[in-house]
Amino acid sequence: MSAAPRLAIYPGSFDPVTHGHLDILQRALGVFERVVIAVADNVRKGGLFDRAERVALLRQVVGTEPRVEVDAFDGLLVDYARQRGAQTIVRGLRAVADFEYEFQLALMNRRLEPQLDTIFLMTDQSNFYVSSSLVKEVARLGGDVGAFVPEPIHRALVAKLAPAARQPHAPLKRSPTVASSPSTRRRLPARREPQARRRAAGEGSSEAERTGCHRRRANAGSGRAADLSTPLQRTTTVPMRTRLAPSLGPLRTFRRCSPSQKPPQIA
């Protein structure tokens, strides 16, 4: 790869460009004779400005600086650097959390192009917490981001997000609940009433169930506890008629007998 004299590539999405980006650019100009700001699309992030808008905004911010060029590219960064004849990539770091991801990118670029090196530059301490994603989030929520971006970028953010801010918010929809409907509350006792009448009349239950139910009601009304010492006597054998569990045998029901009666022996 033929290298241009002291040429470096400063890639990024710059959506939008912040004071942290410009601080890295100034530090790179102290090391290299020329710096190309290469604008690309970040597939992992949602874009606010399209690539043409970002290139135009960067050119407004950079102005007529002869040592800086703003360009856009598609594809791999190593292919673009080879096309421009550059052997150095400049990347900015804000904190230790940025280094792990940037280190992986640098190793991958070197694996794809062994002659391509990456230089990491630390931004000023005042920009450690400033990022394009955070600036967009604050701006979308109506916050003032004028202290984090250049004035042309601030005006572009306000113009871009103003139509969305003027749209009225739709009211929250409340999900219907059973307790909030008077008609539903009036219908609930009517649903339980047929079942209560059937229980009182003894419908849908066997003689043993009705006897046990009446006995429990009598004990509850008299305040006496149920006599658990009364043995159980087998009275009825009902064959199990189901194909799901034919091996379970007959279904047996039991009722309580008086203490004077002896329970029969179960064979």
Taking only the tens place, the pLDDT of each residue in 217-243 is 555 555 555 555 555 555 555 555 544
Bridge pairing between strands 117-122 and 88-93:
parallel
Q: pLDDT value at position 43? A: 77
Catalytic residue among 19, 54, 84, 94: 94
Q: pLDDT value at position 263? A: 58
* Phi, psi dihedral angles at 71 (to 5 degrees): -140, 165
Is 21 a catalytic site residue?
yes
* Full-model pTM: 0.60
93 contacts 125 by C-beta, under 8 angstroms: no
- Smallest CA-to-CA distance from 2 within 70, 112, 81 is with 81
Residue 190 pLDDT more than 80? Answer: no
State the CATH architecture for 7-128: 3-Layer(aba) Sandwich (3.40)
Residue 67 pLDDT more than 90? Answer: yes
Is 132 a catalytic site residue?
yes
Q: pLDDT value at position 110? A: 95
Q: Which residues have a Cβ under 8 Å from the Cβ of 9 and sit 6 or more positions away? A: 35, 36, 38, 77, 80, 81, 84, 86, 88, 89, 90
Q: Where are the domains of the chain?
A: 7-128
Q: pLDDT value at position 242? A: 46
Is 136 a catalytic site residue?
no
- The Cβ-side half-sphere exposure at 152, using a 13 Å CA radius, reads 12
> In the chain, pLDDT over 70 holds for what percent of residues?
59
- Average of per-residue pLDDT across 35-50: 88
Catalytic residue among 13, 54, 91, 132: 132
Is 173 a catalytic site residue?
no
Per-residue pLDDT of 97-118, as tens digits, reads 788 889 999 999 999 999 999 9
Q: Determine the Cα–Cα distance for residues 156 and 152; give it in Å rounded to an integer.
A: 6
Catalytic residue among 19, 21, 154, 256: 21
